Amino acid sequence: MMRPWTILIASSWLSLAGASASASACAAKTPVAADISSIDHENCKHGPNSRGCWGDYSINTNYYNQAPDTGVTREYWFVVENITMAPDGYEQHVLAINRSIPGPLIEANWGDEVVIHVTNNMERNGTAIHWHGIRQLNNNAHDGVPGVTQCPIPPGGSYTYRWKAEQYGTSWYHSHFSLQYSVGLQGPMIIHGPATANYDEDLGTVMLQDWSHVSPFAMWWYARVPSGPPSLSNSLINGKNIFRCTDPLDKNCLGTGERSEWHFEKGKRYRMRLVNTGLYSNFRFAIDGHNLTVIANDFVPIEPYTTDNVIISMGQRYDVIVEANAPEDNYWLRAIWQTSCCPNDYANDTLGIIRYDPQSTALPNTTHPALHYPDNCDDEPAEKLVPHVKVDAGPPARTDVFNLYRHTYDMPRGFMWTLNDTYLWIDWSKPTNLLVAENDTTIFPPNYLLYHTPDGPNQWVYIVFNDISERNRSHPMHLHGHDFFLLGTGEGNFTKDSPLQLKNPPRRDTASWPKRGYMVFAYKTDNPGAWLIHCHIAWHSSQGLGMQMLERPGEMTYTEDEDQALHQTCQSWNKFYESPEQYIQEDSGI
């Protein structure tokens, strides 16, 4: 029987509820760095005024080398299917998990094991689910990328993913099969752990998602012409928004949309977990009348800083603390479209509501100076993103340069992004992991775009990306299996005189490569596997902007169950894919 809820297999040493406990007896105060200078583990309990504590661990623990082992398993059952929904009041065909958009929250504690059983009940579509930002240490088989770590799950098939929560913070999961996540196959993840600032209550995720009333699969054809991607219809915040019906003959426009709302209590400090799950959207997040204290980027806790807005690109996350210190009223929560980066038909209407009086139904009458700030298609300033756990980049065993171009090919490919003149195009039926498992690694097609890392463990690799495409678009690059050590970005091409930050540089799994500029990042070869790196603009990844990092393939290991699942899924997929009802691959596949 398929079940949409969580099963707790063993009692946890730290309850999920405890990680988001309220503090009515706690004196309210402005968010400040948690007192972590001398944590007494025996007497320190994670709470509103001691968020740096976490059992025998703390915010000071180097999570790359050490993590709890709670003995707890959090288990979920997902069913993927085609349904009709109207998340903004406009009814349309969508792809959903457990009949909801976004899908169910995956919630765990740092050190838990997470098991997710995915059943594909779609009609003529394969799928696979990627757990965005999860390190998957020595666990490449569960990364969820069709054509790289597995064959797609065919209609009627199931696949079980299993991974350890070795990091903590905020993220999301999504289909990595073509453009599916833009049609609804995505959901939030919270892994509770320590924090660099204190707060009273955890309000959970704020999912910022662009939305189209025309299927992105249909729009894909228009995305491959010189005029560029078409404008999207709307945006959602936690799966909700409104859409104003202008055509009385449009029966799909039901006018039933609503705004997401949150309740603030005067004097309390609230943690909000921002996630940009968009297809093609840069947002500037702000709350009228309130400041934001930023405490994490992606899965990396940082030294807190205060601002009135946060720039968030596709695939990125920021955890912020908001103090309820404004006059008791209603306030707009805003995801302000950066329209010079990407157009949207409802660019000024991505709104939620903060209410101090939960009984109020009045619309806010507030504004924010960020409405007049210039558009920003890049990231928060690197100098603000200071990791709390300090790690330096080591000297490189190898440095490689990849130049970004854009070329035109015969249809169905059309415009494609290339790295050193090659675009990514995988074969769903022959994933990289299968070829490695069968020792068939001498026949990788050129368009698998495999980068072979240096042999041996713990080697530092430096990668230089230069954008010489002459296109005015930044690229949010996402690395699987690792965090970027972001050594430098800038205008033009990288040169020997370009500055690099090697001492405790910003770290994250999704970072923006500036338009017509360069990005230099480092990572350590401490995680054997085939790891994808790609642009998280879905149009661009479909147009081949990505490559695979093949890391220590001789040390990639599989349990008997994993090997069986890999081969059985490929056999089932190939049987489906050879049938007349097959889904034809029209893009890179990722």
> 136, 149 in Cβ contact below 8 A?
no
Of 5-19, 105-119, 138-152, 331-345, least confident by mean pLDDT is 5-19
Which residue, among 552, 548, 556, has the nearest Cα to 525 in the 3D structure?
552
Does 49 or 23 have the greater pLDDT score?
49
> 84, 215 in Cβ contact below 8 A?
no
Of 119-128, 187-196, 403-412, 537-546, least confident by mean pLDDT is 403-412
What gap in Å lies between CA 216 and CA 222, rounded to an integer? Answer: 10
Does position 33 have pLDDT exceeding 60, yes or no? no
What gap in Å lies between CA 344 and CA 349, rounded to an integer? Answer: 10
pLDDT tens-place string over residues 232-269: 999 999 999 999 999 999 999 999 999 999 999 999 99
Tokens of 548: 């695979």
Q: How many other C-beta atoms are found inside a 10 Å radius of the C-beta of residue 399?
A: 12
Residue 264 backbone dihedrals phi, psi, to 5 degrees: -105, 140
User: In a 3-state reduction of DSSP, which class is residue 88?
Assistant: coil
pTM of the model: 0.93
pLDDT band, very low/low/confident/very high, at 42 (cuts 50, 70, 90) = low
Task: Give the torsion through C-alpha atoms of 79, 83, 85, 91, to 10 deg.
Answer: 160
pLDDT tens-place string over residues 377-433: 999 999 999 999 999 999 999 999 999 998 887 766 678 999 999 999 999 999 999
What are the DSSP calls for 516-582, one per residue?
Answer: TEEEEEEEES-S-EEEEEEESSHHHHHTT-EEEEEE-GGG----HHHHHHHHHHHHHHHHHHTSTTP
In DSSP terms, 476 is beta-bridged to: 512
Residue 508 backbone dihedrals phi, psi, to 5 degrees: -170, 170
Percent of the chain past pLDDT 90, that is, above it, reads 81
Peptide bond into 412 cis (omega under 30): yes
What gap in Å lies between CA 281 and CA 537, rounded to an integer? Answer: 8
Q: Angle CA(345)–CA(350)–CA(354) in degrees, nearest 5?
A: 165
Chain position carrying tokens 């959207």:
281
Architecture of domain 396-576: Sandwich (2.60)
Which residue, among 80, 95, 120, has the nearest Cα to 183 in the 3D structure?
95
Any idea what DSSP says for residue 140?
G
What gap in Å lies between CA 63 and CA 268, rounded to an integer? Answer: 29
pLDDT band, very low/low/confident/very high, at 340 (cuts 50, 70, 90) = confident
Residue 218, H or E segment: helix 216-223
pLDDT value at position 151?
98
How many whole angstroms from its chain centre is CA 485? Answer: 17
Any idea what DSSP says for residue 100?
B
Does position 21 have pLDDT exceeding 70, yes or no? no
Q: Report CA-CA distances (Å) from 374 to 370, 371, 377, 386, 468.
A: 8, 9, 10, 24, 25
DSSP E strand boundaries for 386-497: 396-408, 415-419, 450-452, 460-467, 475-479, 484-491
> 424, 588 in Cβ contact below 8 A?
yes
Chain position carrying tokens 């698998």:
448
pLDDT value at position 25?
31
Does position 445 have pLDDT exceeding 80, yes or no? yes
Does position 11 have pLDDT exceeding 50, yes or no? no
Tokens of 56: 């025998």
Does position 231 have pLDDT exceeding 70, yes or no? yes
| Cβ-count burial 89-102 (b if 16+ within 10 Å, e if not) | bbbbebbbbbeebb
What gap in Å lies between CA 142 and CA 123, rounded to an integer? Answer: 24
pLDDT value at position 414?
76
Does position 65 have pLDDT exceeding 60, yes or no? yes
Q: Which residues contact 228 (CB under 8 A, 6 or more apart)?
A: none
Tokens of 586: 């029209």
pLDDT value at position 218?
84
Domain spans in the chain, listed from the N-terminal domain onward: 396-576
Task: Give the torsion through C-alpha atoms of 177, 182, 183, 186, to 10 deg.
Answer: 80
pLDDT value at position 2?
34
